Structure 1
Amino acid sequence: MLWFKWDLNLKIRLIGDSLFNMLFWMYFPFMTLYFSGAFGKSVASMLMMVPPLVGLFAGLFGGFLADRLGRRPAMLLGSILQSVMFAIFALSPSRWLDYIAYIGVGVGSSIFTPASSAMVADVTPEKDRRMVFATFVTGRNLGAVFGPALGSIFFINYRTELLWTCTLVTFLYFLAIYWKIRETLPASAGPAQEKGSMGSLIIRQFRNYGLIFKDPPFAVYIIAGIMVTIAFMQLDMYLAVYVKEYVPAQPLLSFGNWSFSLNSTGIFGWMIGLNGLLFVLCALPVTKLFEHWNDRNVFILSSALFGLGMFLMGFTTNVWLLLVFITVMTIGEVSRSPVTESFVSKYAPANARGQYMGASNLQYSLGRFIAPVTIFLSTWLPPLGVFGFIFFCTLASVVLYIVLFRILPETKPAQTENAGL
């Protein structure tokens, strides 16, 4: 599906999402260091566990709003909340107010995301969704490649100016959504259905999510996603520990008497940089390559490649082999991303798509919450044992995906079972 044929909703949001994610990666990687300097490492480590949990519930609420009030109102609420919180962060005289504003930015993003993903599915034909989602993944990851480098300059030296820039961009995005984005909520769901007090609506929200999680195929899908997310998160967790503690300084390139050497920190930087660069360059080609593969095979290949690449790292400390293995991992990671949202958009009923998108995000929130267990395991297991545990998680997800697609045809589609959501 060529970009110039896209719906106007998608074009505006691709530009807005890409620009915002560039700014996001200019401040996000430095927040732990920022709060560590303000509160100390112990307090900061506990404080940084709170935003993902708050975001989990905000994402569920955002999905509920997207299906009941509409995609557009949920996106407007999420974007204006982010703009206000960035302004508070920029004006804040207190580190605690900084922290509250930081949580608020995350809440706004979590409310925005399910509605955003649901809108992509609403306006995109099913056959084109993988490529469209892959394009959004590419746009988001441009920020992950260039944002940290820019942030090392602007966040450290011009933090207030950066926060005001984030405020302005999110506010302009809010105005663009308000003036240019049309509602895409299916006619079968809408505000007219919602009557009663706010308390009754909240109770109804939790009841609806209870029905979603009682949907056997979707529950298996969430558990499989949690297992593979535990592995994906190790790029920023155990892999950093392994490279720092076990990989020695060594030359990356040498010619005659000249050599270019890297210490362990430099090697890890190159590995993460290669991961981000490949994500940007390969998202669309890899999605195109697997365009005619069914979702089952892509999920299985993704988990197997990522787990194998990670496990093989436990056998070497050679920088070039580590770069080869992270390439294998990245191909697995890239192949999965567009298919995840595409699968949910196909599986979910159109009038509950936002809630399913919000519920789907639980796999990432819970996976991120469990992922630090590898740091604990590393205190009494050798590296190969920890990498073996990570590989086991990906193999468990492979088994669960096989189970998922075996029971899927035997279960009535979510469109009919949960039409009353």
Structure 2
Amino acid sequence: MKLIHYFHPLVWIILFGTIFTRIASFMTMPFLAIYLHNVHGASPMLIGLTIGIAPLFATFGGFLGGYLTDRFGRKVIIIVTIFVWGSVFFGFALTTFALLFVALNAINGLCRSFFEPATQALMIDFTDNEKKRRLFSVRYTAINIAAVIGPLVGVMISTLASPVIPFIITGVMYVVYGLFLIGVLNKYEMRQKRLADGQNIASILRVVFSDYKLLLFLAGGTLIGLGYAQFDSTLPQFIQLKLEDGVKLYSLLISLNAVVVLILQLPISMLAEKISILASLIAGIIFFALGLVLFGMANTAWLFIIAMIVFTIGEIFAFPMMNAVIEEIAPETQKATYLGASQLKNIGGFIGPVLGGWLLIHLQAQLFFIVALLVLMSIPFYRRAF
């Protein structure tokens, strides 16, 4: 079977749209911490709050977004959210008051928590059961293709023009994608199985959070998210303190992260298929923790590069499995709700930058060792879940 026919055309459109919008996002968001520090002189704690507020709102917005998607349809939520999201990036470009970035990034997190479950659920609706695990793997690859391109483009534009220009371009790209989706989604009849009228958000909330297995997955995912959040918030500040020209090295590490994923995902995925999901998750967690320890020990660019490779191997083992498992345990009428509820693990993404900012001030030498230990504590939750 030809690759182009493996998934439904609408699925391919959403996957390529993922690359397009993620390139836009990666042009700006990885550098928000540096932008706040260099341009606005923000403190590590304020930077941590700004970065962490997005996953905090995504944590609680994900369930609401997933419920609304299952209740009112994928198309409405996707189209409304993408235009609101675009306006957020215009706000990033226009504001000069650091605290406003906190509010804007909160809306940014809320938009992501609505958009991600809706688009994932839409692709699931148009994908056969035996192809769904492959779908999550391909989507993960699409995100990392964008992660290779976006940061390099963002640095180039910021260097040649102004640090605010990438935010404007990102907003324009989101609006263009939204206009494109209006035309595309109207051409296809949605296949969604909607919630019944009597199933309100309170009743769904009780059902979802009585799922013991889901709760264990969320606990483990929260600890992993706490560790991974250091990549976006604490690591760029840590590198700047350790080395000169830290911005360029951090940009290189972001792209290296994506390149390693693209190179190693296929062989690691083939290996992961020969072992259990639990073994794959534990392997990922161990590599994550080892990568964090190496970050803490690094004092040269090459050591940071080695640490990034190890850290990324953990990402390859763990990340695709996390969403695939959530989809498998979700009832047919509650796919987006479960995927949205899984956003609760993003509480780790809120705690991580704030904790990292505090550790950077008070326990800089021990920062990544402490975080690595917290990541390893996720293993008992996953073992219990399986």
TM-score (structure 2 length as normaliser) = 0.83
Are 2:74 and 1:71 equivalent residues in the alignment? yes
Instruction: Decide which of 364, 389, 394 is 2:375's aligned counterpart.
Output: 394
Which residue does the alignment assign to 1:21? 22
Worse-superposed segment, 126-135 or 301-310: 126-135
Which residue does the alignment assign to 2:262? 280
1:114·1:358 contact (CA, 8 Å) conserved in 2?
Answer: yes
Two-structure CA RMSD over aligned residues (Å): 3.3
Are 2:230 and 1:234 equivalent residues in the alignment? yes
Residues in 2 aligned to 1:354 and 1:143: alpha-carbon distance in whole angstroms: 24
Residues in 2 aligned to 1:34 and 1:386: alpha-carbon distance in whole angstroms: 22
Describe the SS at the equivalent of 2:378.
helix
Residues 353-401 of structure 1: per-residue CA shift (max 9 Å, x gap): 11110010111x2011111313323444463x33332222222111211
State the Cα distance separating 1:233 from its structure 2 match. 1.8
Residues in 1 aligned to 2:360 and 2:156: alpha-carbon distance in whole angstroms: 34
Residues in 2 aligned to 1:84 and 1:26: alpha-carbon distance in whole angstroms: 16
Residues in 1 aligned to 2:305 and 2:31: alpha-carbon distance in whole angstroms: 25
State the Cα distance separating 1:51 from its structure 2 match. 3.6
**Structure 1 residues 374, 28: CA separation in 2 closer, same or farther (over 3 Å shift)?**
closer
Structure with the bigger percentage of helix: 2
1:62·1:113 contact (CA, 8 Å) conserved in 2?
Answer: no
Which residue does the alignment assign to 1:356? 338
Describe the SS at the equivalent of 2:275.
coil
Instruction: Decide which of 121, 139, 143 is 2:146's aligned counterpart.
Output: 143
Which residue does the alignment assign to 1:132? 135
State the Cα distance separating 1:294 from its structure 2 match. 2.5
1:77·1:112 contact (CA, 8 Å) conserved in 2?
Answer: no
Residues in 1 aligned to 2:377 and 2:332: alpha-carbon distance in whole angstroms: 30
1:36·1:44 contact (CA, 8 Å) conserved in 2?
Answer: no
Describe the SS at the equivalent of 2:319.
helix
Which residue does the alignment assign to 1:178? 185
Which residue does the alignment assign to 2:215? 219
Give ranges in structure 1 of 5+ residues lacking alignment. Answer: 196-200, 250-262, 406-421
**Structure 1 residues 163, 242: CA separation in 2 closer, same or farther (over 3 Å shift)?**
closer
Corresponding pairs, count: 377
**Structure 1 residues 20, 378: CA separation in 2 closer, same or farther (over 3 Å shift)?**
closer
Residues 139-187 of structure 1: per-residue CA shift (max 9 Å, x gap): 122222221222234465445861563254232333244323432322x
Worse-superposed segment, 215-224 or 389-398: 389-398
Describe the SS at the equivalent of 1:299.
helix
Residues in 1 aligned to 2:176 and 2:209: alpha-carbon distance in whole angstroms: 36
Residues in 1 aligned to 2:294 and 2:327: alpha-carbon distance in whole angstroms: 34
Residues in 2 aligned to 1:69 and 1:282: alpha-carbon distance in whole angstroms: 39
Residues in 2 aligned to 1:388 and 1:86: alpha-carbon distance in whole angstroms: 35
**Structure 1 residues 39, 339: CA separation in 2 closer, same or farther (over 3 Å shift)?**
same
1:304·1:332 contact (CA, 8 Å) conserved in 2?
Answer: yes
Residues 172-230 of structure 1: per-residue CA shift (max 9 Å, x gap): 333244323432322xx34xx226xxxxx8xx314422432232111111010011111
Q: 1:336-375 counterparts in 2 under 5 A?
A: 336-363=318-345, 365-372=346-353, 373-375=355-357
Query: Kindly, what percent of the aligned residue pairs are identical?
Result: 24
1:17·1:140 contact (CA, 8 Å) conserved in 2?
Answer: yes
For 2:276, give the aligned amino acid. N
Higher RCO structure, 1 or 2 (CA under 8 Å, sep 6+): 2
**Structure 1 residues 99, 153: CA separation in 2 closer, same or farther (over 3 Å shift)?**
farther
2:70·2:337 contact (CA, 8 Å) conserved in 1?
Answer: yes
State the Cα distance separating 1:331 from its structure 2 match. 1.0
Which residue does the alignment assign to 1:10? 11
Which residue does the alignment assign to 1:61? 64
Residues in 2 aligned to 1:181 and 1:111: alpha-carbon distance in whole angstroms: 21
1:133·1:341 contact (CA, 8 Å) conserved in 2?
Answer: yes
Describe the SS at the equivalent of 2:273.
coil
Q: 1:20-419 counterparts in 2 under 5 A?
A: 20-32=21-33, 41=42, 45=47, 46-83=49-86, 103-154=106-157, 156-157=161-162, 158=165, 162-163=169-170, 165-186=172-193, 189-190=194-195, 193-194=196-197, 204-246=200-242, 266-363=248-345, 365-372=346-353, 373-381=355-363, 383=365, 385-405=366-386
Describe the SS at the equivalent of 2:190.
coil
**Structure 1 residues 115, 329: CA separation in 2 closer, same or farther (over 3 Å shift)?**
same
**Structure 1 residues 149, 266: CA separation in 2 closer, same or farther (over 3 Å shift)?**
closer
> Which has the higher Rg, Structure 1 or Structure 2?
1
State the Cα distance separating 1:324 from its structure 2 match. 2.7
For 1:205, give the aligned amino acid. I
Describe the SS at the equivalent of 1:317.
coil
Residues 94-113 of structure 1: per-residue CA shift (max 9 Å, x gap): 86988766654543332111
Residues in 1 aligned to 2:101 and 2:139: alpha-carbon distance in whole angstroms: 30
State the Cα distance separating 1:284 from its structure 2 match. 3.8
TM-score (structure 1 length as normaliser) = 0.77
State the Cα distance separating 1:352 from its structure 2 match. 1.1
Describe the SS at the equivalent of 1:183.
coil
For 1:348, give the aligned amino acid. A
Residues in 2 aligned to 1:41 and 1:264: alpha-carbon distance in whole angstroms: 17
State the Cα distance separating 1:10 from its structure 2 match. 0.6
State the Cα distance separating 1:404 from its structure 2 match. 1.1
**Structure 1 residues 345, 159: CA separation in 2 closer, same or farther (over 3 Å shift)?**
closer
For 1:386, give the aligned amino acid. L
